Amino acid sequence: MKKTTILRLSSKLLLLMVLLWPAFALASASRPLPPSGIHAIAPVPDDPAPSLSSLIPDTRVYNQLVYDQQNGANAASRELVETKAAPSSSGVLDERAVISKGGALFRTPTACLTFNDANLWNGQVTWAAYGNWGTFAVDDGGFYRPSNVNFSREAAVGDDYSFKIAGSQPYAAGLISPIIHAPPGAIVEVGLKYLMFDHEGLRVGDQIVNDWVSLGVKPDAHKEAARYVNGYSRGEWSRLNNSVVAGESGEVLVLIQAESPAPFNSNVYFDNVEIVVDGMALDRCE
């Protein structure tokens, strides 16, 4: 193939990527993101060593997005924009809702994990963990780094205490449950409350990209398959629900995650985790 032909094909491919870029960004924001490496911060005692590719979703689109932003490429179509006018500088709405009033979350009676037992916190300031839940952060060799994220106990937002994941640089991180035992074929329902600090988002064409949360449930802890649901609500406590049919192993794993694809002031809070097996709520899952 002649050099000029190769150059023409390369140019067409580059043009196609530029034209389709907003669609790629939107697709990435609408699915749980990346099969990169993970860095176990506080491993679970009975860690089933889940496959790396099943924990989080694919960061390549966002890697390019942030690289372009930082290097001024296509700057006319990418800018930080205010996603919602929060009435307070805290990024948390003040209104009373069904499950909360401002940052104060109303307690869920059936929650098996509330983060309220001071004896179950490991005592670290920025790398905290709780009970038998492990923590992890993606390490992809450059873009996502464990050093970009903090895990901490939050006393000002939530139901007494909540679990806070935060960072001012791109990160993907979360909590991994201990093994949840359920009869094979049982319906396992998982619910939690989350609050995302309301801040500016990144405009890409007609779309706005921001940080988000996801709740993953693995029917078999040792296998790769996991079902994810995402949460995008900002500035107020919201609920996220997921459910699976327990697999043959009878061992289910829950993944609570936050992901920030750009240098946002990302602060995410989790609280009141509920796990229900065939209609029976677990008393404890700590």
Domains of the chain: 3-281 (2.60.120.260)
Amino acid identity of residue 253, one-letter, is L
This prediction's pTM? 0.74
Higher-scoring residue by pLDDT: 257, 42: 257
Q: Are 205 and 22 in contact (CB under 8 A)?
A: yes
Strands 78-82 and 200-204: antiparallel
Overall average pLDDT of the 32-46 stretch: 40
Q: What pLDDT band is residue 283 in, cutting at 50, 70 and 90?
A: very high
Overall average pLDDT of the 138-145 stretch: 76
Higher-scoring residue by pLDDT: 163, 14: 163
User: What does 113-165 look like in DSSP terms, one character per residue?
Assistant: B-S--GGGB---SSB--BTTBEEEEE--SSSS-GGG-EEEEEEEEEESEEEEE
* Chain CA centroid to CA 86, Å: 22
Taking alpha carbons only, the member of 195, 194, 199, 167 closest to residue 83 is 199
H helix or E strand, kind and range, residue 201: strand 200-204
Q: What pLDDT band is residue 77 in, cutting at 50, 70 and 90?
A: very low
Alpha carbon distances (Å) from 275 to 48, 124, 152, 279:
19, 27, 23, 9
Q: Is the pLDDT of residue 280 over 90?
A: yes
Percent of the chain with pLDDT over 70: 65
| Residue 66 phi, psi (nearest 5) | -70, -35
Model confidence over 186-222: pLDDT tens digits? 999 999 999 999 887 777 666 677 888 889 899 998 8
Model confidence over 259-272: pLDDT tens digits? 888 888 899 999 99
In angstroms, rounded to a whole number, what is the distance separating the alpha carbons of residues 257 and 234?
A: 15
Q: What pLDDT band is residue 103 in, cutting at 50, 70 and 90?
A: confident
Q: For residue 101, what pLDDT is reported?
A: 82
Q: Are 140 and 59 in contact (CB under 8 A)?
A: yes
In angstroms, rounded to a whole number, what is the distance separating the alpha carbons of residues 52 and 65?
A: 23
H helix or E strand, kind and range, residue 26: helix 3-29
Taking alpha carbons only, the member of 246, 153, 157 closest to residue 193 is 157
Beta bridge mates, 245: 187
Q: For residue 37, what pLDDT is reported?
A: 38
Average pLDDT score, the chain: 74
User: What is the Cβ-side half-sphere exposure of residue 196, based on CA atoms within 13 angstroms?
Assistant: 26
Q: What pLDDT band is residue 15 in, cutting at 50, 70 and 90?
A: very low
Q: Are 232 and 226 in contact (CB under 8 A)?
A: no
| Residue 124 phi, psi (nearest 5) | -75, 155
